[in-house]
Every structure is written in C-alpha cells, then in structure tokens.
Amino acid sequence: MFFRVFLVFATSLIGLVFQASGKLPHILFISIDDLRPELGCYGKTQIKSPHIDRLASEGVLFKRAYCQVPTCGASRASLFSGLRPTPKRFLTAKSSVDEEAGGVIDLAGYFKQHGYYTVSNGKIHHSPKDRESSWDEVFRPNGYMQYQTPENIEIAKNNKWGAACWEAPDVEDNVLQGGKIADKVIEDLRKAKESGQPSFITVGLTKPHLPFIAPKKYWDLYSKEDIKMAPNPFAPKNAPKISLHNSRELRLFYTDVPEKGPIPQELLPKLVHGYYACVSFSDAMVGRILDELDRLEMREETIVILWGDHGWQLGEHDMWVKHCVYNTSLNAPLIVSAPGIAQGGVAEGLVEFVDIYPTLCDLAGLELPGHLQGDSMKPMLEDPAQPGKDAVFSRFRTGDTVRTDRYMYSEWMDEGEIVARMLYDHEKDPWENENIAEYPEFSDVVANHSKLLAEHRKRYFD
C-alpha cells in the first residue's frame, strides 16, 4: 500500500518537476502588423529581411497561408478564438474576442490555464483590454502615431487622425514602439529562462502598418532604384465594383493624401519605400529577439511562430492597404520554428490562420479544445511535403472567398442571392488581372467553387 501511494506521489511529483523544469515548451509568438510575404525567404528580393529569413531557414515556411479576414482586429480575433468569421462575427478592424466570441477560451487563456505565464507585448488584439484575463501582463507602449518631427507633431495635435503617412526620424530604435517592444521581450525571455515556468510571450510589432514611421537608417537601406512599383496598378479586367476600394484607410487618416481623386504620383514610390523601411525595422527587432533566444540557449525549448495578420496592397489593382479579397490582401507570411520539426522546409500546401491555435496546442502536447474550427499543421511541420487543405476560406464584409490549389473564387451575397463573383486562375494569372467567372468555359469551375462556399456557409454560418 505504502509503495503504491509512494508511486502515485512520485509520478505526480515527476509531472510537477517536468513542468517546472520547463519541459513544456515556451511559445514565442511574433505578430507583424500588415506584413505581406514580400520577404527574402519568400523569394522576393526587394525588401531586406535577413532576420525573418534566418528564422525561415531554421523552421518551416508556409507559402500559401491565408488569413480569415483581411483587417487587423477581425483577423486577430479569429486566430485567438480559433473560430471562423461569419456574417455576424469578426467583421471589422476593431473586432474583439470578448464581444464576439465571449463564450470560448482563447489561445492565450488556454495556455495560461495550463500553467503558462502569458505576456501580451505591443499590438496583439486590436484593443489591449480585449480578453485581459488571458494575460499575466499586458505591455502596450504608445502606438502607431509616433511622429517625431515638430511639424508632424503639430499637425497630429490638431487633427482627429494623424499627420503625414510617412516619416524618417533620425532616432534610435527604442525611441519608437518597435524598439521598446523588443527591449521588453528580451527582458521577458531572460525572466522565463530564470523562472523555468513555461511562458507564452507575444511580440506585437505594428510596422509596416501605416503611418510609415521608421528610423532613418532603415529608409537608407534603399535607394530610388531599389523601389519596385506594382506591375498591375489597374483594376482587373471584368472586376466587380464591390471587389475594389479607394484605399480609404490611407486617405482618411493622413493629411498628405487627398480624400478623393488620384493619389499624387510622386507619393507612390514614397509609400513603397516606407513599406520597405518599416518591414526592415520590424525585421531588425525580430533579429534582436532571436539573438537573445540563442544567447540564452532557449531554442531547444521554444516554439517560435511568426505571422503577418493579413496581406497588403502595394498599389496592385490601384489599391493600397488591405480590406479586399484579392490574393495580395489574403495571403500572408507564416513561419514556425520548433525543436523536432523540419529546418529550412517550405510547405506549399494550403493552410489558414484558424489552424494556428490547434497547431500550437498540438506542438506543446496540450489537448485540443473542442470548439476549434481549424486543424493542426503539425504533420506539415514534420514533413513540409505533406499536402495542405483542399480549400481555405476567407471573408470580408459580404464577400466570401475560397482558395483551392489552382483557383481563387469570391462571391458577394445579398439576401441569399449572389450579386457578384470573381474567379482567378493562379496557374495562368497569378496577379489576378482577369476575372474569368463569367466565361462559359469556366462554368464548371465556378459551380464547383460556389458549392464549396455554400457548404462552408452551411457548416459555419447557420
């Protein structure tokens, strides 16, 4: 009897020691606002992103990862809740888990429940108040509008929104939000190493979100000749009107962009340059954090995930920002590096952000909560050649999109009727310049994809 009690006690003690010694992996969760896969590791050469490229070489890069909603708050609320958007849920940039998915335990809360120390650094949810109970700490230094020049500070004071859409102050990194976040995360990693408690540490970098404010040295990485403009600054042939917008976010918030009419031609390369500079700034912060992780010799006990909350229009289809269902706004970066998974692997299969919650649980050895609507990507992390999903789904406002291996198809509904649709053949038209949905020779493809959307709505919307 004594022996049996001793055995049970010893087993549970081992369980405790196992946890306390940090055998449950730490999670380093890096979210980069408005980052599109315009990075070296995605085969793009314009932007300098050596640190994210290094992370990709140490893990698995997903070439075809899709966000659920191409706007900040909704994309994040979907990822953190593990739920898909519907006509009633996750519609806007301000969407929240608390208000729209109040009944479920979110990703950070679930890890906290399993003994993790959870830290929200920077922009993780749209509002730092969203699902506060899931975090042991919330650190949100001053936000996007960190103007440094006197003229912009003055304009911003008297303007409801912001000032110029770009600025290149000659300041140290940690004068701006990204640098402050990197400093804090480095401290968090040191504490995690010392305490041994498994930690879920997030890094919410807000650049390259507008306004493009980055220290001058990141702007100086690029000369005029390095700036590449979109090859298709025009609406696709046959594009439904509802699929296009006038870059409202850019026009509404920033005083150097007119509210209506064409955006001044001379500003366009500046916008592209600003995007490059801001990506390189965030990339450098990722580098500092990864260097510290290596210095602390924590790589073998840490799952690192890096994702951009949605894609971004760099002038493609004459649009800027996101807020549309073209591939440039839905396809976003996703990289996972963890002990025991492939190194330098490239997964071509389709995945979606609703898969991130189950994947992290699976990698950490936690049971998957029953409410999750995505699937674990662990098989693809172990073998990136594994096929992904047959179809992935996104939505924005009244538009639903399905991406399959070859095609991207979208439908807009009004009172149960399809009012607009578009189909792009990615094998022949990867830039989505010609909507072929109404061509008779594609009627079967349209019917098949429309059926996929109808089944999806029936399964998740009703």
Active-site residues, by number, are: 72, 126
Nearer to Ca ion, 24 or 210 (CB): 210
Site string for Ca ion, 57-76 (x = CB under 5 A): ---------------x----
Write down the least CB distance from residue 207 to Ca ion, Å: 11
Q: Do 28 and 188 meet the contact criterion of CB atoms below 8 Å apart?
A: no
Residue 77 lies near Ca ion (rule: CB under 5 A): no
**Interface region with Ca ion, contact rule CB under 5 A, candidates 236-244, 304-312, 355-363, 401-409:** 304-312
Stretch 106-135 residues interacting with Ca ion (CB under 5 A): none
**Closer to Ca ion by Cβ: residue 34 or 100:** 34
Does 34 help bind Ca ion (rule: CB under 5 A)?
yes
Q: Which is nearer to Ca ion, 199 or 282 (CB)?
A: 282
Count the residues of the shown chain that bind Ca ion, applying the rule CB under 5 A: 4
Applying CB under 5 A, which part among 192-200, 221-229, 289-297, 303-311 lies near Ca ion? 303-311
Identity of the residue, 311 or 349, whose beta carbon is nearer to Ca ion in the bound complex: 311
Please identify, using beta-carbon distances, which residue of 63 and 323 lies nearer to Ca ion. 323
When binding is defined by CB under 5 A, the residue of 26, 27, 28, 33 that contacts Ca ion is 33
Q: How far is the CB of 249 from Ca ion (least distance, A)?
A: 10
Taking the complex as a whole, the smallest distance from the CB of residue 204 to Ca ion amounts, in Å, to 10
CB of 327 to Ca ion, least distance (A): 17
- If one asks whether residue 309 binds Ca ion (CB under 5 A), the answer comes out as yes
Residues in contact with Ca ion by the rule CB under 5 A: 33-34, 72, 309
